[in-house]
A and B are shown apart, each in its own frame.
Chain A
């Protein structure tokens, strides 16, 4: 992955910045230039809070290239409090009493996602941990 390709996603990958339609106020993540709800092109950046509930999850044991050193890991679809559902990894799941489950509360953290080999980029983005 080129630096530019990662750099241009910083706002969404680091801050969970989606978009909000200024006509119907629908919030989207990932950000969209055309509102899915009303078709308006008047959208603006909108930072999501990062709190939500697990909608579904699985455990990845055969990872894509670059994710090997964190395997196995939980992958989840998290329904954010503002409405959008986002796909991301669960992390810090070793806390007492936490079992991934549909409906479990989670919150945003920014963590290392993958490394592109010894001389490559180290890529960071959002993950979700059990709500504290």
Chain B
């Protein structure tokens, strides 16, 4: 197997893009990534598209072909990869495997999601597709309410102050304020977060992520040829993916995400790294409790200690566990199927030392966790500066 590097990245800002269609957003990100890598369209061998809800929101499937068509990539193989909110991470790992295998040399991975073409209730219905339709959603469960139940269990088990969970949100907003691609580029204080309206007891508005659109793309190449491209390459040192029961009620444990633990183990093993080797941590903070569990399940702190780590400022850009450094899902936004690719792009920016005010000094390695469903499908990807 060959080592694989990211040699180009591109994004659209995350926003409610009323003026742009799904295909326009996707093509924009692909164009920017190809330009960044300095490669022509005719050099691309394959395209993988991470997307969750194109069928629901814009009545469009066959998105691989659509994106390759409108990005003028010719007759390349192109497939949509779907793993609920982890679609982006799963598409990235599919692309990595393609190049790793030797079958493809230059591969584009796109994550794209257009949510604002339908009303919010339809988006919520779509997001709940990630849950068990017959035994969760049918009974009136929404994605938010399932995560509310998970949050209550975590808070009970470790006697957590809600304030300490919301510190993950405050940290994300502080970092988003310096990210020109972020949906929310404004800081919030803890009081604002605590005073925000309840969305599903115990969840408050600032525990959860916004509905938005966006697209992000990366260009992958074999590491042995990575120096042919203009930018500092970033190697994909480890990938891991694991699933768990789709129904939250069928998990063996509620305060630990077994799929994250397993996926992280695979990624650490492949990269021959341990948590202590990681400089930048991109958590899937769709809900603040997911941030806390993610930090624990990937081995950065002991079980139940993540809220204290947030309270002590360890997750800040200048802390020892810099997390959601460009705003995370909370402030950058969570265009679901694109999120995993945004995470990779943001780590690349950190490792290329292009993260501006959010730069983690001397960052050499980063980890991205992308969660599908309430923890039923998780990818963990480790990136390393390649020079």
Contact = CB atoms under 8 A, between A and B. Distances in A.
Interface of A: 9, 12-13, 30, 36, 55-65, 67, 70, 73, 75-77, 84-89, 102, 113-114, 123, 125, 127
Given A58-B145, A62-B142, A113-B138, 20 more contacts: A30-B247, A55-B153, A56-B152, A58-B148, A58-B201, A60-B142, A60-B200, A63-B140, A64-B121, A65-B121, A75-B140, A75-B145, A85-B249, A86-B135, A86-B249, A87-B135, A87-B136, A87-B248, A89-B139, A102-B156
B181 to A, nearest CB: 28
B248 A64 contact: no
For the residues of A in contact with B, the DSSP-based class is: strand
Interface string B179-197: 0000000000000000000
A64 B124 contact: yes
Contacts of B200: 58-62
B128 interface: yes
Nearest to A114: B140
A125 B250 contact: no
Contacts of B137: 64
Contacts, number: 95
B357 to A, nearest CB: 35
B88 to A, nearest CB: 25
Contact of A113 (B124, B132, B140): B140
A88 B153 contact: no
Interface of B: 121-122, 124-125, 128, 132, 134-142, 144-146, 148-150, 152-153, 156, 198-203, 247-250, 254
Contact of B145 (A60, A70, A114, A125): A60
A73 B249 contact: no
26 contacts: A12-B134, A55-B249, A56-B150, A56-B152, A58-B145, A59-B201, A60-B141, A60-B200, A61-B199, A62-B121, A62-B142, A62-B199, A64-B125, A64-B137, A64-B140, A64-B142, A65-B122, A65-B125, A75-B145, A77-B149, A84-B249, A86-B135, A87-B136, A87-B248, A113-B140, A125-B138
A75 B149 contact: yes
Contact of A60 (B122, B132, B140): B140
Contacts of B250: 36, 84-85
B141 A75 contact: yes
B122 to A, nearest CB: 8
A64 B128 contact: yes
Given A61-B199, A65-B121, A102-B156, A87 B141 contact: yes
Contacts of B135: 12, 30, 86-87
Contacts of A59: 200-201
